[in-house]
Amino acid sequence: MIPIIILTVILTIVSFVFDKKKTKKAVKKGMMMFVKILPTLLSVIIVVSVVLYLVSDELLIEYLGKEAGLGAYVSAAVIGSISIIPGFIAYPLAGILLKTGVSFSVLSVFITTLKMVGILTIPIEAKFFGYRTAIIRNSLSFVGAILVGGTMALIYYYI
């Protein structure tokens, strides 16, 4: 994140040197967009925070672990699609799951749905592209994620 912040600061300064008026307009425009999206963003973050609490590590191990059998794949896809877990939490978590015996196959379904499908972020996406597009995109991504996860599950241990 830090490189982006530095880049933005430098670009803003350069832009300001070249054209004060344009830069002010740019910053104002960006901030307006931010303020407009803020209420939706906050409510999504609130819902995600609560969901994240309910989906504890123990719960994940129970549903994704060896005992869960084929059901583990279904749980992985469902949990992955609903939650948005930022990478810095998701990967250490995936590391823990791996150590407790969750297979790479199940993890690949979990990680791909987690990354490609965001049911909880649909309200934010819809603010920019409309609900229909957001829902269709997420549904297609779900199918895509299942294909990726499924393929990974089939070939991971053979190559």
Partner 1 sequence: MWEIYKKYKYDFPIIIAFIVFVLLSYFYSYNPGISIFEDNFWGFIKEMILALPVMFILVGLFDVWVSREKVQKHVGESSGIRGMMLIMLLAFIQAGPIYAAFPVAYILWKKGTSPRNIFIYLSSASIAKIPMIAFEIGFLGLKFSLLRIIISIPIFIIVATIMGKYFTKNNYEVKNG
Please give the residues from 53 up to 112 whose contact with partner 1 meets the rule CB under 8 A. 53, 84, 86-89, 91-92, 94-95, 98, 104, 107-108, 111-112
Inter-CA distances, 121 with 27, 65, 110, 128, Å: 25, 27, 17, 12
> Is the Cβ of residue 5 or residue 70 nearer to partner 1 in the bound state?
5
In the region spanning residues 136 to 155, those forming contacts with partner 1, defined by CB under 8 A, are: 136-137, 140-141, 143-144, 147-148, 151-152, 155
122 binds partner 1 (CB under 8 A): no
> Is the Cβ of residue 71 or residue 133 nearer to partner 1 in the bound state?
133
Rounded CA-CA distance 6/28 in Å is 19
